[in-house]
Structure 1
Amino acid sequence: MDEIALRDFQPRLQAQTVFKSDAGWFYRIPALLYERESETILAFAEQRLSREDISTKNLVMSTGTLKKPERTIEWSEHKVVEEAHIDGHRPMNPCLVYEKNSKTLFLFFICVEGQVSENWQIENNTNKARLCYITSKDLGQTWTVVTDLTDTLCESQNWATLAVGPGHGFQMRSGTLIVPFHAYVIPHSSGCLSCLKSKKREKNSPHAYHLFSEDGGKWQLSKMLQNESIECEMAEFFDEKDNSLIYCNARTRRSYREEAVCGSNNIYTCQPHNDRLVETGQGCQGSVVSFPAQSEDAGETSPDLNKWLLFTHPNDKEKRIHLGVYLNRSPKAPSAWSNPWIINSGHSGYSDLAYLGDGQFACLMECGEQTETEKIASVVFSYSEVKQGIGE
Structure 2
Amino acid sequence: QLLSSACLPDHRSMNPCPVYERESKTLFLFFVCVPTGVSEYEQIRTNKCRGRLCYVTSKDAGKTWSNTIDLTADVIGEEMKEWAPFAVGPGHGVQMKSGRLIIPAYAYRYTGNPNCTSCCCLSFCCFTSYALAFYSDDRGITWKVGNQLDVESCECQMAEITDDKGTSTLYCNARTTLGYRTEALSYNSGQDFATALSPNKLIETGNGCQGSVLSFLQQSDPPETWLLYSHPSNPKNRVDLGLYLNKTPLDSSGWSDVPVLILHHGPSAYADLVEHEPGRFACLMECGIEHENEEIAFLL
- Bigger mean CA deviation after superposition, 208-217 or 144-153: 144-153
Residue 81 of structure 2: aligned partner? 157
Q: Following superposition of structure 1 onto structure 2, how do residues 20-39 of structure 1 map, counting pairs within 5 Å?
A: none
Answer whether contact 2:214 2:273 (CA < 8 A) is retained.
Answer: yes
Residue 355 of structure 1: aligned partner? 275
Give the one of 91, 95, 99 matched to 1:167.
91
Residue 104 of structure 1: aligned partner? 26
Residue 233 of structure 2: aligned partner? 315
Answer whether contact 2:163 2:224 (CA < 8 A) is retained.
Answer: no
Q: Secondary structure at the match of 2:42?
A: helix
Q: Cα RMSD between the aligned structures?
A: 1.9
| Largest Rg, 1 or 2 | 1
After superposing on structure 2, the runs of 4+ consecutive aligned residues of structure 1 that deviate more than 6 Å are: none
Residue 374 of structure 1: aligned partner? 294
1:229 corresponds to 2:153: yes
Answer whether contact 2:241 2:268 (CA < 8 A) is retained.
Answer: yes
1:267 corresponds to 2:192: yes
Answer whether contact 2:205 2:235 (CA < 8 A) is retained.
Answer: yes
Answer whether contact 1:186 1:199 (CA < 8 A) is retained.
Answer: no
Answer whether contact 1:134 1:147 (CA < 8 A) is retained.
Answer: yes
Q: Please give the alpha-carbon distance, in whole angstroms, between the structure 2 residues aligned to 1:316 and 1:379.
A: 20
Give the 3 Å change call, closer, same or farther, for CA 111–306 of structure 1 in structure 2.
farther
Q: Please give the alpha-carbon distance, in whole angstroms, between the structure 2 residues aligned to 1:255 and 1:199.
A: 25
Residue 123 of structure 1: aligned partner? 45
Q: Secondary structure at the match of 1:121?
A: helix
Residue 49 of structure 1: aligned partner? none
Answer whether contact 1:236 1:244 (CA < 8 A) is retained.
Answer: yes
Q: Secondary structure at the match of 2:141?
A: coil
Q: Following superposition of structure 1 onto structure 2, how do residues 231-310 of structure 1 map, counting pairs within 5 Å?
A: 231-264=155-188, 266-268=191-193, 269-275=195-201, 277-294=202-219, 307-310=225-228
Q: Following superposition of structure 1 onto structure 2, how do residues 12-161 of structure 1 map, counting pairs within 5 Å?
A: 79-152=1-74, 153-154=76-77, 155-161=79-85
Q: Percent identity among equivalent residues?
A: 48
Q: Please give the alpha-carbon distance, in whole angstroms, between the structure 2 residues aligned to 1:119 and 1:366.
A: 24
Q: Secondary structure at the match of 2:180?
A: coil
Q: Secondary structure at the match of 1:168?
A: coil
The one-letter code matched in structure 1 to 2:134 is L
Gaps of 5+ in 2: 113-119
Give the 3 Å change call, closer, same or farther, for CA 199–223 of structure 1 in structure 2.
farther
Give the one of 116, 121, 129 matched to 1:206.
129
1:327 corresponds to 2:267: no
Give the 3 Å change call, closer, same or farther, for CA 347–182 of structure 1 in structure 2.
same
| Cα deviation code 1:305-343 (max 9, x no counterpart) | 661100000001111000000000111111100121212
The CA deviation at 1:143 is 1.2
Answer whether contact 1:314 1:322 (CA < 8 A) is retained.
Answer: yes
Gaps of 5+ in 1: 1-78, 189-197, 296-300, 381-392
The CA deviation at 1:123 is 2.6
TM-score w.r.t. the length of structure 2 is 0.91
The CA deviation at 1:241 is 2.1
